[in-house]
Amino acid sequence: MPQPQKDFADLEKIVQVQFNDQELLRQALVHRSYLNENPDFELQHNERLEFLGDAVMELVVTEHLYRSYPNQEGDLTNWRSALVNSRMIAQAARRLGFEDYLHLSKGEAKDEGRARDYILGNSFEAVTGAIYLDQGFDAAKTFIERELLVELPQILKTKSYVDSKSQLQEKAQELCHVTPQYKVIESFGPDHDKRFKVGVYIEKELAGVGEGTSKQNAQLDAAADALRKRNWE
């Protein structure tokens, strides 16, 4: 994938935000790997913006669920997890065309599938952080409501918020008569933003791989991956 040549003014139109500091939007699309190959690049990578955007996104989604639904905490937690998981936010980033604006190393530019989804999901969080810094909370909230919360009715209709680990365990015990086992494959990132990669095994076979900011989130992501690969959804 070639490095982005597109005008970021077009991206401003896509996200419906005219930035005071357009460099924040550009930085939100700079992956760490690009700086490894281009150390003289004028911008930093997007991980600090991603860290900020993740917090803003979780607050907006949590407040919306709290104000809109009288359900118990467990229901709201499951719905929030379904909205802010890596697959959902990657879909939003791809729909918005962020992929065309990413600054990636040559190696990362060749990767597809889950690796690209992970980068795209991080870019959505980083753009959210950039909007928050440049325009304030209300603008970031409007962006999240328009691009992410719009998916909630479909999530509730299809019940896709059901815990993927529970689904996988039920299917594995029913069809294979075994209980899935989870193993941390690796952990990476700075201490304030540690990431985990977890594999889930069924009958000693690696059935799925997931990533997350906690072992629990990575296990949920791995279970969802296994459900998709085995057509057990």
The catalytically annotated residue of 47, 108, 125, 147 is 125
| C-alpha span between 13 and 15 (Å, rounded) | 6
Residue ranges in the chain assigned as alpha helix (H): 8-15, 22-27, 32-37, 47-68, 73-84, 86-95, 106-110, 113-135, 137-147, 152-158, 164-175, 215-229
The verdict on whether 75 is a catalytic residue reads: no
The catalytically annotated residue of 47, 50, 54, 134 is 54
| C-alpha span between 161 and 159 (Å, rounded) | 5
Contacts (Cβ under 8 Å, ≥6 apart) of 21: 134
The verdict on whether 37 is a catalytic residue reads: no
Other residues' Cβ atoms within 10 Å of the Cβ of residue 137: 12
Tokens of 195: 């990431």
Contact at 8 Å (CB) between 55 and 137? no
Catalytic positions, written as ranges:
54, 125
